[in-house]
Amino acid sequence: MPTPPDLRARAERFRELHHQSAPLVLANVWDVASARIVEEAGYEALATTSAGVAWMLGYPDGQRISRDEMLGVVARITSAVRVPVTADLEAGYGPGPEDVAATVRGAIEAGAVGMNLEDSTEDPSTLFDIAAQTKRIAAGRAAADAAGIPFVINARTDVVLHQIGEPESRLREVLRRLAAYRDAGADCLFAPGVRDVETIATLVKELKAPINILAIPGIPTVAELASLGVARLSLGGGLMRAALECTRRLVRELRASGDTTPIASTPLTHMDMQQLFAR
């Protein structure tokens, strides 16, 4: 798939969207059809979900998919939409700084203008140490700068998500890690699992950088996140799971009742889908 000719402009626009009064809401997509539907709904940028792409291709989540397969899906999505696309590229598909640099170069070639980079290792109970992760982030930043693209690195720590360490020390560790990641060249900072107002406010105040929040049960509303100064809200794999839950419900109801009406009469018609891909 060809790299979009306006990639630098898309990247600049994506960077700008992290510095507005309301959070940038990213409805994470997993294929071209979901990307076109989200774009048509008026979203100013798209993100991929690594879990959703992996599941779509038959892999479990957790960097079981290869870099090339992941970037192949990203390239299909970026070539089918006009808005900026950032890619969830897990832990960069390799432990070393050179692996992250290669992933950044591949993402740019695929037409992405940003990426998530997490600090989880293959063992979910273990994170890269801070020194190693900052070298990885710095290598990704250098690769993007060499390409001449203002690529947005969203540095993620999984301290809260994987419940690393004692509960009373987790916020301190999140702050320590994300500050180091910011200083190594990350543009946006992400601590999935954080949900309470006090912790979110502390992240915004202490880190003084764009903060990404994951949509999980119990988080504040978009308006409340805006008042807290949050820059970005991601749905993660939630949108795909919601779509699949709808599918599961419909097929179970069909099996139980024999009534095809709920499926056959969906308001999203065959023609609607054809028109999504007409351009």
Residue 2 — very low, low, confident or very high, per pLDDT cuts 50/70/90? Answer: low
Mean pLDDT, residues 125-134: 96
Question: Considering the entire predicted model, what is its pTM?
Answer: 0.95
pLDDT at 231 over 80: yes
Between CA 271 and CA 70 the distance in angstroms is 29
Q: What is the pLDDT of residue 122?
A: 86
pLDDT at 274 over 70: yes
Q: What is the pLDDT of residue 4?
A: 76
Mean pLDDT, residues 121-142: 95
Mean pLDDT, residues 29-46: 98
| DSSP annotation string for the chain | -PPPTTHHHHHHHHHHTTSSSS-EEE--B-SHHHHHHHHHTT-S-EEB-HHHHHHHTT--TTT-S-HHHHHHHHHHHHHH-SS-EEEE-TT-SSSSHHHHHHHHHHHHHTT-SEEEEE-B-SSTT-B--HHHHHHHHHHHHHHHHHHT---EEEEE--TTTTT-S-HHHHHHHHHHHHHHHHHHT-SEEE-TT---HHHHHHHHHHH-S-EEEE--TTPPPHHHHHHHT--EEE-TTHHHHHHHHHHHHHHHHHHHH---HHHHT-SS-HHHHHHHT--
pLDDT at 103 over 80: yes
Residue 1 — very low, low, confident or very high, per pLDDT cuts 50/70/90? Answer: low
Tokens of 62: 């957790």
Do 187 and 210 contact (CB within 8 A), yes or no? yes
The residue assigned the tokens 């990426």 is 115
Do 129 and 120 contact (CB within 8 A), yes or no? no
Q: How far is CA 114 from the centre of its chain?
A: 9
Q: What is the pLDDT of residue 240?
A: 98
Mean pLDDT, residues 223-236: 98
Do 162 and 120 contact (CB within 8 A), yes or no? yes
Neighbouring C-alpha atoms within 13 Å toward the C-beta of 142: 13
Express each pLDDT in 59-95 by its tens digit: 999 999 999 999 999 999 999 999 999 999 999 999 9
Q: What is the pLDDT of residue 278?
A: 86
CA distance from start to end of the chain: 16
pLDDT at 38 over 70: yes
Distances (CA, A) of 23 to 16, 44, 45, 162, 166: 12, 12, 12, 25, 30
Residue 5 — very low, low, confident or very high, per pLDDT cuts 50/70/90? Answer: confident
Residue 152 — very low, low, confident or very high, per pLDDT cuts 50/70/90? Answer: very high
Which among 83, 101, 79, 80 is positioned nearest to 92, based on CA atoms? Answer: 101
Q: What is the pLDDT of residue 125?
A: 84
